[in-house]
Structure 1
Amino acid sequence: MLKHIIIVASYGMLAVAVALVGSELVPALAPPVNWFAAGMVFLVGALAHESHVRVTQGATMAGQLHALRSENIGLRAQVTYLGGAMENLGANIGELNADGTDKSKQELDRVIAEVRVLQNLIEQLSAFRSMAGETPAPESSKAAGRDDSPAPAPGRAPAGENGAAYGLDEKEVLDIVREGLRKERVDLYLQPIVSLPQRKTRFYECFSRIRAENGTVIRPDQYIDLAKREGLMGAIDNMLLFRCVQLVRNAQSNNKNIGYFCNISANTLKDRKFFSDFVGFMAANQELARNLIFEFSQTDLDTHREEIGEYTARLGQLGFNFSLDRVEDLTKLNLEILAALGFRYIKIDARNFLDMPRDDDRPAMAEAAGEVALAPVGEADTVVGIDVALLKRTMDLHGIDLIVEKLEEEQNLIELLDYRIDYGQGYLFGEPRLSD
């Protein structure tokens, strides 16, 4: 408003100046002509001012219309996606009414469970979209989502991600994330986990990637901080977990002898409504239990032990197994408790065996229910102050397999084979690649 007042005052003062000094500048002009000229100056200024205001308002309205159109497209995509699921539900109801068989009822339960999870996810995304422009307090690093993918070996680019999107501003990245989630542009990347020493692929670890409309890939490290700040991380983690399971279900039909590791983040652990629906979804897809292993990080296990114990009990009753990854402190491992919770795999970074300084005075680990430390032995047999051979025997005793991850060099593997490592993972055996 102040800007427009200043503009009006400016051409008003110019008109008054023309009326007052016109005769002095052009003596032949009579006073009435001066006032007429002043009026024309004011009129021209007013018309120019009005034209500027109309152009500005038109541009603003066009921007608002574009934003509304984009929101409408997103809502229509969600309705279409949910509508397809509802059509499948209707078809299953028809089949159930027709024959009433157990198989038909199982399919019906499966679709109902999937629709519930979808409804929950759509509500989350819609709620966060309506909060656009607001900036919630960022979540703590322990509660926020993480980039599951391993870092590439020096000089290597992640396979299948050469089209990664770089040079984008924050708004562009968040727009791609939101659109990717709404329009199912979430891709599954798989990295092999091989048996040792045979190097035969036994499992894959699943990584989710969000793809832009033009095909470029948004890596988690590009959007995690932004998503935390916008309060989107919970919805993203939930959606990626659900999509990961959907994609594994499709991949399983091609190879039923391969297992898939899928991470459950701290954000998902805190969302009881979503996870309750998710457990129902897994109960309706119980045939995945022989191929799907859910992963928790050691930090999340320490922070959310009560919730994880509850969830592993529910999923364990369905036949699912679990893996502990991102192990940062080997001395905190309690193998008896982990085995009781259904953990059948532990992933340990190769650097914990090879790079960290050795300390024979450091206690090895807490074994079983008590605090029985594995006694350190000679430095030649000890890694990071831990008797690896005894650690491995204790894991075998509790039915837990050891996976050494982030193996990059052949020499590293040679150093580890003497410890009877069960499985290896890293760029030495294969990079994360887009699932077929």
Structure 2
Amino acid sequence: MVTNKKMNPVLKGRKAVLLAFTPAFLTASAAAYVPMEAGLVMPVFAVLITMVIGVLLILRQQAGSPAAPLVLSPGRGAGQGPAGLLRDLAKAADVPESAVQAVPTLRGRPALTLVAGSVINPEKFPEPSLLPCIRRLSADETSRIRLVTQAFEADRIELHLQPIVSLPQRKIRFYEVLARLRLADGTLLAPVEFLPILECSGRASDFDRRILIRAMAVARHLMARGSEAIVGVNLSAHSIVEPGFLWSLAGLLDSSPEILGRIVLELPQHSWRHVDADLKGALATLRERGVPFSLDRAADLRFDPKTLADLGIRFMKLPAGLLIKAAEQADGRYAGPELDVRDFASALRRQGIRLIAERVDQDEMVPTLEDLGIPVAQGFAFAAPRPVKPEIAGEQDLPRPFGLEDAPTRLRRTG
């Protein structure tokens, strides 16, 4: 197919010759098979001519809209390298140039295939910041992991108790168990420093069981002294989702029925918001045995008191900073359509839940919490965590490295 001076497409070569002589061929063939006296030559000839004209029109229409080939400029593509080649291909296929710029520069001469009409969707590629960072651990990190693992295997776990007091009387009502891990050099680590290492190694559930056993011994000691204070034990989110973990705690608590109701299991807010069928069943089993639950490590103030009560929650810990920040708002709301912070304590109390303000580290925070009607609070403003004697927690004397008695103890401030 070529064009003449008037830019009209015309046929050229064998196709043109074939179409030019087609009427003559058809007329001769018709005359050979159709009798002349029958008077049918002209009608047959007319039909054949009509068919030929129709075929010509179809061919011309197809010739007028050919598939646009992808043409590359050799000089430009060679001068700009692979990036210029990709840009030319994108322009030929109507792809936005910004999408091509996101493609990294290629090395070598790979075989490129671009389908006409295809569009590169940059949204299919993940955000680079969300991709896992694969790197080698530094010498300090490797050493820290080894020291934490050795201390855990040697069971150098210590318990500290922080009182939870009533407001405004400031009488001790509860105790929260705070675990510490002592390294070989005498350094005392807080959970934020060693718990992630245990979670990554799959030892979080074993750690939580050890803490619960020690907390049960502390609860028995308090009962022997005639104290009515209860003991709260934090559970790791990794342990909670481990199959069978909560079910195993039911059997562990059944071994000491005298302290049922004196041990409070504290679960983080995230775990309460993602309760599946198996977790509900385990929580119901513990609740039937009289084990109270507490919501801990809250990141916001959005909650439904009725839903929490149905799950067996009897205590709810909220950061004092969030409560005070919400109280400073005109409507008393932190963010969203939640309740007015001034109604938190009463709304929870109607469902049998006691509100605890945690992380009260400054004395200036206490009057605001009292104005909000917070019944119980916890923090350094009232008392710091204190270590529990090994004999009270049921811990056995473990062999210590030579010279550990003289090693300095470095306790980080945690609440």
Give the TM-score of the pair, scaled to structure 2.
0.54
1:408 is matched with which residue? 361
2: CA distance, partners of 1:267 / 1:321: 20
SS at match of 2:298: coil
How many angstroms does 1:329 deviate by? 2.5
Greater share of residues in helix = 1
Name which of 182, 192, 196 aligns with 1:221.
192
1:207 is matched with which residue? 178
How many angstroms does 1:306 deviate by? 3.7
- Cα 1:345/1:412, change in 2 over 3 Å: same
2:281 is matched with which residue? 310
What's the Cα RMSD here? 3.0
2: CA distance, partners of 1:231 / 1:271: 10
Matched AA of 2:163: P
Alpha carbons 1:186, 1:243 under 8 Å: kept: no
SS at match of 2:366: helix
Q: Following superposition, which runs of at least 4 residues in structure 1 exceed 6 angstroms of deviation?
A: none
Give the TM-score of the pair, scaled to structure 1.
0.52
Choose 282-291 or 212-221, whichever is displaced more. 212-221
Alignment of 1:184-333 (within 5 A): 184-250=155-221, 252-254=223-225, 256-331=227-302, 333=303
Alpha carbons 1:194, 1:423 under 8 Å: kept: yes
2: CA distance, partners of 1:247 / 1:181: 21
2:322 is matched with which residue? 352
- Cα 1:169/1:243, change in 2 over 3 Å: farther
Count matched residues.
252
Alpha carbons 2:294, 2:317 under 8 Å: kept: yes
Q: Which runs of 5+ in 2 are unaligned?
A: 1-129, 131-138, 390-415
- Cα 1:181/1:354, change in 2 over 3 Å: same
Alignment of 1:16-415 (within 5 A): 169-250=140-221, 252-254=223-225, 256-331=227-302, 333-355=303-325, 358=329, 360=331, 386-415=339-368
- Cα 1:419/1:355, change in 2 over 3 Å: closer
Alpha carbons 2:357, 2:374 under 8 Å: kept: yes
1:375-415, Cα deviation, whole Å (9 max, x unpaired): xxxxxxxxxxx423322221121111110011122221111
1:428 is matched with which residue? 381
- Cα 1:171/1:251, change in 2 over 3 Å: farther
SS at match of 1:221: helix
1: CA distance, partners of 2:279 / 2:183: 34
2: CA distance, partners of 1:290 / 1:212: 34
Alpha carbons 2:204, 2:239 under 8 Å: kept: no
How many angstroms does 1:184 deviate by? 2.8
2: CA distance, partners of 1:262 / 1:223: 17
Q: Which runs of 5+ in 1 are unaligned?
A: 1-139, 141-167, 366-372, 375-385
Alpha carbons 2:333, 2:340 under 8 Å: kept: no
Alpha carbons 2:332, 2:340 under 8 Å: kept: no
Choose 184-193 or 214-223, whichever is displaced more. 214-223
